[in-house]
Amino acid sequence: MSNNIRTIMTLYQFEDSTPILGEDSYVASTAEVIGDVKIGNNCYIGPGAKIRGDYCRIRIGNRTSLQENCVMHAGPDQVALIGDNVTIGHGAIVHGPTIHNNVIIGMGAIVNDHAVIHDWCLIAAGSLVTGKQIIQEESLVVGVPAKFVRKISNTNRTLIEYSANLYAELAPRYLAGLKKLAE
């Protein structure tokens, strides 16, 4: 655990499992990280986010963000895997999928059990990726249920990179510069 990790974070051991945080990762004081959870380096876990590794395991790669009020969990004995440079937008629900690298899950989107989202994908805000759905590499998907619209553009690729960089750079800034002013 990094020396930069502050005690303002809400981390919970559950039975024999304790969350593990990488270097320069920030977890907001109103977020909850419970049990068998491993978070990589330079990650940002926003206010109100809930990451529950109670009867499941959760693995989050480097430079990944779960923004405000995200929920992440999985079914019994499942492993939820999130890769590097993934941005999970405000209010998204992520339950038991595998999400590879360089992906944006839009605000309010839902990604269900056993779904697989490959590299360089953009899941539009409010979309529903159903259980066991497979999203191929470089896809833009939209809707309920989520459907392939087209391959991502260079503009989409730039957005994915920008978003990952923005939050990876924000995490250490929060660790160094966030000061609670009043109760």
What would the mean pLDDT of 36-46 be, rounded to a whole number? 97
Instruction: Provide the whole-model pTM.
Output: 0.93
In the numeric block, the tokens 């049990």 are attached to 35
Range 11-177 classified under CATH 3.20.20.140: no
Buried b vs exposed e over 43-77: b needs ≥16 C-beta within 10 Å? Answer: bbbbebbbbbbbebbbbbbbbbbbbbbbbbbbeee
What would the mean pLDDT of 9-30 be, rounded to a whole number? 92
For residue range 131-153, what is the model confidence (pLDDT) as tens digits?
A: 999 999 999 999 999 999 999 99
**Domain residue spans of the chain:** 11-177
Q: Distance between CA 132 and CA 147 in Å, rounded?
A: 14
- Amino acid 181: pLDDT: 85
For residue range 98-112, what is the model confidence (pLDDT) as tens digits?
A: 999 999 999 999 999
| Cβ pair 137, 118 in contact under 8 A | yes
- The Cβ of residue 179 has, within 10 Å, a number of other Cβ atoms equal to 6
